[in-house]
Amino acid sequence: MSSAPILNEPAGEAQHAIVTSARAPLHARIAFVVETARRLHQYGTAAPRLESAVDKLAGRLGLCAQVWSSPTAIIISFAEVGDHRRVAETTQVIRLSPGDIDLRHLVEVNEIADKVIAGELDIGQGSHLLQTLSDRIGRRARAREVLCFGLVSATLAVLMRGAWSDVVAAGCIGLIVGTLADVAARSQRMRLALEALSALIATVLATQISLYITPLTLKVTVLASLIVLFPGMMLTTAVRELSTRHLVSGVARFADAVQTLIKLAFGTLVANELCKLLGLVPPAEVAAKYPHELSGGQRQRVAIARALAVEPKVVLADEPTSMLDVSIRIGILNLMLKLKEERDIAFLYVTHDLASARYIADDILVMYAGQIVESGPVEDVLADPLHPYTRLLLAAVPDPTRGAERIEIRKGQASAAVDPPEGCRFVERCPLAVDVCSRVTPPLVDARRSQAARCHVTAPSPSLPTL
Ligand code: SF4
């Protein structure tokens, strides 16, 4: 970067040019110095360097300048060299937005200043060139900048030992981030939201690619695609300013860098939560977690995935949703239904929850004390149950519309499941029990076209006429 001539003492024939520039009107020299300071600030010059450069430039133009710079303002007081009153002729206060490091423009500003000092340009021409600097960025240059975003992102993914898919994804997302940065360069609103929006889009895109196209190492891909927005140079400048005791500038710039990091983190967190809310969590993310880091729904999905690994024809699912809240429960049930349809898998679903049984099952077997007491199509059985135990189960389901119409259970002992005595196992608790129930074990009888029950009263056996 050819910035040295502004900072170094001129020598030789340049002395003549200095004298020439110093003869220009006071207001023109001040305007040139102010515009130079503004440009140096805009293109990311650190406060100590800016103050030194402006001081020396003013001196070569026959001015005595007192300069104070911060990331959001420059204050310069001017007086003519040789004015022994030491009273400022004028003071300029310039409010500015914090500048970004732009080495190309810094070189151009220095070249213009050098030419004015050397007499190759008069001060008016120099001021005009400075004012038109930002207008000289063409479409090709902008396209190259966007391309550089993609290349830098892809390169970083390589350096982070990402897979080829990470490299390609980081490069593509980097191009999108570069396009956003290009838009932000011309829009104040977009500039404020650039980091958060870029982080959000990068995270969502990486997650989508990982879910639907090819698995990615999300941390590598997202970090690589956002690396260009990290305020590394800003932090370096802040440290330099703090170390030279330009405390206001250093602290302000450091705070600006931290704000940028917070915006990036915020965008990433929002995108992650959004994806989790929508159930868009890439398998690689889940696979890297310990069981205690998974939600209840994720654990059940892992259990189902483990069962599916052996490509079963039948899966015994024993209370798979009992520990889940309702919203997650429906997700697991839908997953089982989907697997049933797509993979032709039969689920033997064990539950106490008749509502979920009705939602997922085609046929139902109601069991009591190790015995099937009723069977049939789930809708038929639950709509018009035969066995007293099934009726009690349904009666136990809270239903505010049903009022006081309930079957009362008797307070008897539960039947022993091992070596039970002869007779119906439900007799101690059955509200419909008759004498024979405790002497003869009821068989499972096809009482209706597709519905069977084990009960002497509601499904009597034709083979036991004496009962
Ligand atoms: S067989 Fe008797 S005890 Fe058993 S369920 Fe029927 S009515 Fe009740």
Q: Is any atom of ligand 1 closer than 6 Å to the C-beta of 442?
A: yes
> What is residue 274's predicted lDDT score, i.e. its pLDDT?
80
User: Given pLDDT bands bounded at 50, 70 and 90, which one contains residue 21?
Assistant: low
User: Given pLDDT bands bounded at 50, 70 and 90, which one contains residue 3?
Assistant: very low
> What is residue 2's predicted lDDT score, i.e. its pLDDT?
42
CB 152 within 8 A of CB 177: no
Secondary structure of the chain: what % helix, strand, coil (to 5)? 55, 10, 35
Q: Is any atom of ligand 1 closer than 6 Å to the C-beta of 427?
A: yes
> What is residue 10's predicted lDDT score, i.e. its pLDDT?
47
pLDDT tens-digit readout, 258-288: 989 999 999 888 888 887 777 667 666 677 7
Q: What pairs with residue 78 in β-bridges?
A: 65, 90
Of 9-13, 191-195, 462-466, the one with minimum mean pLDDT is 9-13
What residues have CB less than 8 Å from 98, skipping those under 6 apart? Answer: 71, 72, 234, 252, 253, 256
CB 156 within 8 A of CB 223: yes
Alpha-carbon distances of 320 from 8, 95, 286, 347, rounded to whole Å: 78, 64, 19, 11
For 274-284, give one letter per residue: b (16+ CB within 10 A) or e.
ebeeeebbbee
Crossing angle of helices 296-308 and 326-343, in 10° steps, is 20
The whole-angstrom separation of Cα 111 and Cα 1 is: 10
**With 90 as the cut, is the pLDDT of residue 130 above it?**
no
CA 12 to the chain's CA centroid? 60
Q: What pairs with residue 278 in β-bridges?
A: none
Mutation pick for ligand 1 pocket among 393, 415, 432, 436 (CB with most ligand atoms within 8 Å): 432
pLDDT tens-digit readout, 62-76: 888 888 888 888 888
pLDDT tens-digit readout, 180-229: 998 888 787 888 889 999 999 999 899 888 878 887 888 899 999 998 88
Q: Is any atom of ligand 1 closer than 6 Å to the C-beta of 456?
A: yes
The whole-angstrom separation of Cα 58 and Cα 96 is: 20
Instruction: Tell me the two tokens of residue 340.
Output: 């049933």
Mutation pick for ligand 1 pocket among 368, 372, 425, 427 (CB with most ligand atoms within 8 Å): 427
360 or 134: whose pLDDT is higher?
360
> What is residue 361's predicted lDDT score, i.e. its pLDDT?
93
Nearest to 255 by CA among 276, 241, 266: 241
The residue assigned the tokens 């110095």 is: 33
**With 70 as the cut, is the pLDDT of residue 121 above it?**
yes
Distance 303 CA to ligand 1 centre (A): 39
What residues have CB less than 8 Å from 342, skipping those under 6 apart? Answer: none
Residue nearest to atom 6 of ligand 1 (CA): 455
> What is residue 362's predicted lDDT score, i.e. its pLDDT?
94
The one-letter code for the residue type at 335 is L
The whole-angstrom separation of Cα 202 and Cα 353 is: 43
pTM: 0.54
- If you average pLDDT over residues 288-317, what whole number do you get? 81
pLDDT tens-digit readout, 398-424: 776 665 556 666 676 777 777 788 889
**With 60 as the cut, is the pLDDT of residue 355 above it?**
yes
Concatenate the DSSP letters of all residues of 178-239 into one string: HHHHHHHTT-HHHHHHHHHHHHHHHHHHHHHHHHHT----HHHHHHHHHGGGS-HHHHHHHH
Q: Is any atom of ligand 1 closer than 6 Å to the C-beta of 437?
A: yes
**With 90 as the cut, is the pLDDT of residue 158 above it?**
yes
Q: Is any atom of ligand 1 closer than 6 Å to the C-beta of 457?
A: yes
